[in-house]
Amino acid sequence: MSQEPSGIFDMLGPIMIGPSSSHTAGVVRIARVAHFLLGGAPERADITFYNSFAMTYKGHGSDRAALAGLMGFAVDDERIRDALALADEAGLAYTFDPVISSAKSHPNTLFIRAQRGERRVEVEGISRGGGLILISGIDGLHTNFTGQLYTLVVRARDVRGAVAFLSAILAYDNVNIATLTVSRRAKDDLALQVYELDEPLRSESLSYIQTLPWIVGAQVVPPV
């Protein structure tokens, strides 16, 4: 039995620069997550295309899409077509590495390692088709968010009560948590908390979170 579309997006797909919603728009959105985690365009990026991406990334414009997203371009930005030249003009050093790997369960998997000044980030995402994405990892730790909502990404020491404390701050701001993913390297080691939010977090609250002694870093990724 066919499944009815749940909304206008499912019927029409995203407004985007083509040629492919999965290989272009999805790649832009994954790369935009890295852009916001870095606080801007990187100075260097190493981009790995896995499996289906590895075989088609040039013909489907995934290389241009990745650089465009890293520079902060939206999926409907006409500059995506010229992203290779624009990245060169901006001094963005980049590499593309196509890899076939059975270790990646999804055929459209993208891995980005990027640096901006002293800040570094690793983002792994999958493009699910129709411009939809899932961010499956940040800095080697598991995540599970879609980039469709405001997302608070917190790197913190694995201290007791951390999730409850941050949840209380969000509740005080009248911000509802849509999803929460927590992962860690080991007990009492670095932990990653990812909150998808129904409303944006106040900038004052984000600044306060960033000052907490057990917080290593905290950024808000807007809908990409």
Mean pLDDT of 142-164: 96
Residue 2 confidence (pLDDT) above 60 = no
Does the pTM surpass 0.85? The reply is yes
Instruction: Mean pLDDT check: name the lowest of 13-22, 143-152, 214-223.
Output: 13-22
- Give me the phi and psi of 140, to 5 degrees please: 80, 5
Mean model confidence pLDDT for the chain: 90
- Domains delineated in the chain: 1-139 (3.30.1330.90), 149-224 (3.30.70.260)
| CA quadruple 112, 182, 37, 65: dihedral, nearest 10 | 40
Q: Between 145 and 58, whose confidence is greater?
A: 145
Which one-letter amino acid corresponds to residue 172? Y
Per-residue model confidence (pLDDT) at position 22: 56
What is the percent of the chain with per-residue pLDDT over 90, rounded to a whole number? 77
Half-sphere exposure of residue 108: CA atoms within 13 angstroms, side-chain side: 24
* 3 Cβ contact list (under 8 Å, min separation 6): none
Instruction: Give the separation between CA 103 and CA 34, rounded to whole angstroms.
Output: 22
pLDDT band at 170 (very low <50, low <70, confident <90, very high): very high
Tens of pLDDT, residues 92-116: 999 999 999 888 878 899 999 999 9
d(CA 22, CA 12): 14
Residue among 163, 168, 224 nearest 194 (CA): 163
Start-to-end C-alpha separation, the chain: 32
In the predicted model, is pLDDT for residue 8 greater than 80?
no
Mean pLDDT of 84-99: 97
